Homo-oligomer: A and B are copies of this chain.
């Protein structure tokens, strides 16, 4: 396979999958582009490579920085343009993504369960409801803590944890 084709395919599929991870397609494509680029790129280069508008490029660059997946790269000289590069250490990328997804996918559920917990009532329906809420909450909290710990682990220990889970 040629480099050009491989890059196109990588960016396309990564963008596609991004949607299923709750990341919008363009954001995932910008990320893919920077991941496989050997030098930092500026907004204009990204716009051109992906055929997207300035507003769109900027929004997603900003979002990727919020997620901690790309960085500004200081550039010498009187060039006022800003250049960006992706975090390339996979364990770091992984932790950042877990962190963001936990915030979006798990935290709201825990809030919901807290709200639902103070239900005072004793009909069979209420009991079933409360039982389910309690069980869900206990499980969610375990998952919450487990993920928090994954996020805190340094890269070395993260690999170790995964390896232990493989055995």
Residues of A within 8 A of B (CB): 1-3, 6-7, 9-10, 13-14, 16-17, 20-22, 35-38, 88, 90-91, 94, 104-105, 108-109, 112, 115-116, 118-121, 123-129, 132-133, 135-136, 139, 142-143, 145-146, 149-150, 159, 161-163, 165-166
Give me 14 A-to-B residue pairs in the complex whose CB atoms sit less than 8 angstroms apart, sorted by A's number. Answer: A1-B115, A2-B119, A3-B126, A6-B119, A6-B129, A10-B129, A17-B105, A37-B125, A38-B128, A90-B135, A91-B139, A94-B139, A146-B166, A149-B165
Task: Say how many copies of this protein the assembly contains.
Answer: 2
Interface contact B119-A142, CB-CB below 8 Å: no
Main secondary structure of the interface of A (DSSP, over half): helix
- How many angstroms between the C-alpha atoms of A118 and B150 in the bound complex? 32
User: Lowest 10 A-B CB distances belong to which pairs?
Assistant: A38-B128, A146-B165, A90-B139, A145-B166, A13-B112, A142-B162, A36-B129, A3-B126, A6-B116, A6-B119
Q: Which residues of B contact A161 (CB under 8 A)?
A: 165
Cα-based distance from A132 to B35 in the complex (angstroms): 7
User: Smallest CB-CB separation from A106: which chain B residue?
Assistant: B17
Contact A146 B162 (CB under 8 A): yes
Contact A3 B123 (CB under 8 A): yes
Which B residues are in CB contact (< 8 Å) with A132?
35-36, 88
Could you tell me if A20 and B20 are in contact, using CB atoms closer than 8 angstroms? no
Q: Is the CB of A149 within 8 A of B129?
A: no
